[in-house]
Chains A and B, each alone.
Chain A
Amino acid sequence: MRIVIAEDDPLLREGLALLLRAEGLDVVATADSPGTFLAAVDEHKPDVAIVDVRMPPTHTDEGIVAAVEARRRQPELAVLVLSAYVEQAFATDLLAGGSARLGYLLKERVGRVSSFLDALHRVFAGGTAVDPEVIGQLLVRARPDSGLDRLSPRETEVLALMAEGLGNTAIASKLVLSDSAVHKHVRQIFAKLGLTPDDQVDRRVAAVLRFLEAAR
């Protein structure tokens, strides 16, 4: 896995690179500004970009803008966005616009190395990684008519983990359930949200999108 890191804080940038290299991952370049980041993407053609939201010059959303541009230049690029806190509007926009190969994590998650690496690998493999904090906020804001209120607390939990990007096995181990129990919950969720097996869409994606849209 070839990685480019875009982070303007030198200590954090070097810390991340050190951590990932110690895990045997290939950090091909680090960048401290959107410009150098895009140049590094063009030069190294990485698999994954780890991007800080706030970057120079204005420290608002330069990182996001740069990540979007990098994806335009290289559509296969997986992007894992790191943010100091949940910026709701961006999180929902990013995910509802198609969540494959995208991740959005709070910076403090990086310290829990194994779950951070899980997220990184998931995004690399074409999946999604959404911070539980983001999902939690979305749940609170869910509209009453979205059908989500018919879910049991356990089913809501399972759906939230699906939205984070976890597969059934990971959900099972996280909730200390058997695989078949998780499978049953997922079927229940599909049923309650009115997603039938003969639909042309991926029901799993549809359920997660319903969940995300309900919070918009």
Chain B
Amino acid sequence: MLGGLGTSGLALAALLLAPFTRRVLRAAAGRERSRLGIVDLPPVPGDRRELGWAALHATAGLVVGLVGLSLPVYAVQYCTFPLWYRLLDPSMGGPGFVTWGIDGLADAFGVFLIGVLFAVAAFALLPGIAELQAFPGRRLLAPAADADLSLRVAELTATRAAALDAHATELRRIERSLHDGTQNRLVALNVLIGAARRAQERNPAAVADILNRAQDATEQALAELRAVVRSILPPVLDDRGLAGALAGLAGACSVPCALEVDLPGRCAASVEATAYFVVAEALTNVVKHSGAGSVAVTARRDGDRLRLRVTDDGRGGADESSGSGLAGIRRRVAAYDGRFAMTSPAGGPTTMDVELPCGS
């Protein structure tokens, strides 16, 4: 209520200043909105409801606020009257609207009873008065019905853009795998077939060797294609969820692997796939490079974040530039706006921390 009185004073000031600046009005209305818990949207041109609110709140709102304020003031003044009535000249009458002469403690006590009435009235009426004072604000400062919808649209547009971004990143990754792997294998195959055809005419003995190489290239192309297809979405994620898929990785790891998973609910499919590859790649590194005797993997969901940690007791000294999959892990994590950190002092241990937004 006091706040309401404050904003009505502001509204009055805004009203008086309105011809000079709209900004004062915006500020006063913004103050009232935050007091009433109303979302503040950018102003709609031509919307005069704010001005109407200022007019009402500065006049009626101010009066209602003063009436509301007077109730507790009178209550206090009258209730304490017996304590200080002696200081007054009895012929002058009592405080406020008590105009009759106060003669003795009995009269003062009567005034005290009026004070009690004021106190009761203040308790009973103040919430209603405050509500009455807030009413114009609630009606006139709330966003129009269609504005609420446009807010929702803005929100959806933003999340959709983020999803499209992640999608584009994923497509680029797939394009890269297809280009660097499968396409190159097929080009090599094509070259070898061309060579075999030429050799057929001039050097038939060489054909068998060339065809051997061609077959190798074909097998490699198939293996790489399979890897690409699996990397788009590993079937195990679909079947068993991230926890199950990680358990599968831990079980298949040739270094003993302790797994600790706390993943309530599911994350976006592409995020789970990334988490899966990060752990798979990390375990591959542990097996290939670390010489570790054991490795621990933890996966936790922390609000909107998925946190992964892989720690091994190996020799450490892991280096991103040495062609291990670390650069790939970093790229993948960055694609999802995640965080990647690694400590690997020479002599170990090596700890990799990855944090991904769940996207769900």
Contacts and interface: CB of A to CB of B under 8 A. Distances in A.
Interface stretch (A70-78, A108-116, A200-208): A108-116
Interface in A112-156: 112-113, 116
Given A11-B220, A111-B194, A18 B210 contact: yes
A110 B191 CA distance: 6
A191 interface: no
A15 B180 CA distance: 16
User: At the interface, is chain B mostly helix, strand, loop or mixed?
Assistant: helix
A93 interface: no
Nearest to A114: B198
User: At the interface, is chain A mostly helix, strand, loop or mixed?
Assistant: helix
A111 B198 contact: no
Nearest to A111: B190
B197 to A, nearest CB: 7
B184 interface: yes
Nearest to B186: A108
Nearest to A106: B187
A203 to B, nearest CB: 36
A22 interface: yes
Contacts of B184: 9, 11-12, 84
A107 B179 CA distance: 12
Given A12-B187, A15-B188, A18-B213, A112 B194 contact: yes
Interface residues of A, number: 20
A108 B180 CA distance: 15
Which 8 residue pairs across A and B have the least CB separation, nearest first?
A111-B190, A111-B194, A15-B191, A11-B188, A19-B195, A113-B194, A12-B188, A9-B184
Interface of A: 9, 11-12, 14-16, 18-19, 22-23, 54, 59, 84, 107-108, 110-113, 116
28 contacts: A9-B180, A9-B184, A11-B185, A11-B188, A11-B216, A12-B184, A12-B187, A14-B213, A15-B191, A15-B192, A16-B191, A18-B195, A19-B191, A19-B192, A19-B195, A19-B198, A22-B195, A22-B203, A22-B206, A23-B198, A54-B179, A59-B176, A59-B180, A108-B187, A110-B190, A111-B191, A111-B193, A113-B194
Interface of B: 176, 179-180, 183-185, 187-188, 190-195, 197-199, 203, 206, 210, 213, 216-217, 220
Given A11-B220, A111-B190, A111-B194, 10 more contacts: A12-B188, A15-B191, A18-B195, A18-B213, A19-B192, A19-B194, A22-B198, A22-B203, A59-B180, A113-B194
